[in-house]
Amino acid sequence: MSDLTALTLARALDGLKAREFSSVEITTAHIAAIEAARPLNAFVLETPDKALAMAAASDERIASGSAGVLDGAPLGIKDLFCTKGVRSTAGSRILGEFMPAYESTVTANLWRDGAVMLGKLNMDEFAMGSSNETSAFGPVINPWRSRIANQALTPGGSSGGSASAVAADLVLGATATDTGGSIRQPAAFTGTVGIKPTYGRCSRWGVVAFASSLDQAGPLAKTVRDCAILLRSMSGHDAKDSTSLPEAVPDFPAFVGASVRGLRIGVPREYRVDGMPAEIEALWSRGMDWLRDAGCEIVDVSLPHTRYALPAYYIIAPAEASSNLARYDGMRYGLRVDGPTLNDVYELTRAQGFGEEVKRRVLIGAYVLSAGYYDAYYLKALKVRRRIADDFTQAFEKIDALLTPTVPSAAFGLGERSADPVSMYLNDIFTVTVNLAGLPAINVPGGLDENGLPLGLQLIGRALDEGTIFSLAEVLEQAAAFTAKPGRWW
């Protein structure tokens, strides 16, 4: 085949099974693509030798008829996932050259099924960011360019490296995590598909923690079917994670292409925000038409506490972060900056090891958890979170899924919003509610804006109903017929 990197994951797996090409061949093609695409800064660590060894082992299994469902497929791994014997940094200086002695459950599941690791993908530091500009390894650059300007654009965050690598055909798919939109927003900015599954669907064991009650792993890929294939392997109950759900893993790819006739799709009026670009509103309307054409009924619904979601999220997430990041003290692993006293070691290590956004969120979190402010901020935010979850519960009594925009704008320029944290946080306005409620949601590319940049639609489903989301997402994917690719400038 002429361009193995242009294949979808599903097509590549079919080709590997049919022996049209070998895993070593497709892995070699991706390694070359990664080397040529270093200007994107999507990878913080390339592992070509490991990838080729894994590919050769896959070829042996394929030849012997003992291949797994992902055997031979080269993937990228977000650097938030611990990988045994391979440097894992969470995009931060404070972890230094940390080499885990264990494998995260999600990546272990992928290797069990035969996937090949191409390397570790860049990300916002500790997954805190919406533009992939907080990484200690520098920003990731979106492979897309505006038609009217040649400026470097954000791929979104925190899973910017994952999204950029998929969009640029450097990997067949990638792992990612979503705490407030960190899978769906980068997918929308790069014209890719990304699903945040139900909280607890994928184990968090071995994933560096940001906000434990919100973090959830999921896949980024080129198509809805590819995401379904990856999520099937990534999911499953894990006794090592107390929040992992003891639920059987459905055959997610079987839902792709299933009829959606008769499903009721809610359109929340609160998602029509002031200042939203007309082209996003127009895409939303087209999405409703596409689902109507497939036999769905569009229903107007209300999620009245939506406007409180961002403030609640930016209290709860930093509070949990301040607790989780207290373990980085320079004592056991990672960066250590010596000082005359123990407190000095703590202070100097954290001052040099953490970036500005992480420090900002840790300080906010420590503040809202402090005596005198716990009830006024953190406890109140938890009550708001409960109300938001109740809004969804009530809505799902009369609908099967929700359709919304994924983000309030197309990708913006690097540095454009970094001086205004509030403006940056507003990127998550359509996505954080899903994390607060623990629900599954997916981004599907819907079209291009007037400057030739991708825009996405979001589908939100009931807890543990990723299957319906995949069925609806495939309808949108087919109707949108999104085949645009970024022009190669790197």
Active site residue 233: no
CB distance 154 to 412 below 8 Å: yes
Residue of 107, 110, 139, 108 whose CA lies nearest to 125 = 139
CB distance 122 to 176 below 8 Å: no
What is each CA distance from 339 to 166, 192, 293, 344, 349, in whole angstroms?
A: 43, 47, 67, 5, 9
Residues 13 and 463: their CA atoms lie apart, in Å, by: 29
Q: Is 66 exposed, middle or buried (0-12, 13-18, 19+ CB in 10 A)?
A: exposed
Residue with tokens 């790819």: 253
| 104, 158, 162, 164: the active-site residue | 158
What is each CA distance from 65 to 17, 51, 306, in whole angstroms?
A: 9, 21, 51
Q: Is 339 exposed, middle or buried (0-12, 13-18, 19+ CB in 10 A)?
A: middle
| 23, 182, 203, 409: the active-site residue | 182
| 58, 78, 131, 146: the active-site residue | 78
Active site residue 182: yes
Of the chain, the end-to-end C-alpha distance in Å amounts to 23
The arrangement of strands across the sheet holding 216-221 comes to 43-46, 116-121, 74-78, 173-178, 216-221, 193-196, 441-448, 454-461, 401-405, 264-268, 297-301
Active site residue 222: no
Q: CB-based contacts of 289: which residues, under 8 Å, 6+ apart?
A: none
Can you read off the two tokens belonging to residue 246? 């003891």
Q: How many helices (H) and strands (E) in the chain?
A: 15, 11
Virtual torsion, Cα 46, 52, 57, 60, nearest 10 deg: 150
Catalytic positions, written as ranges? 78, 158, 182
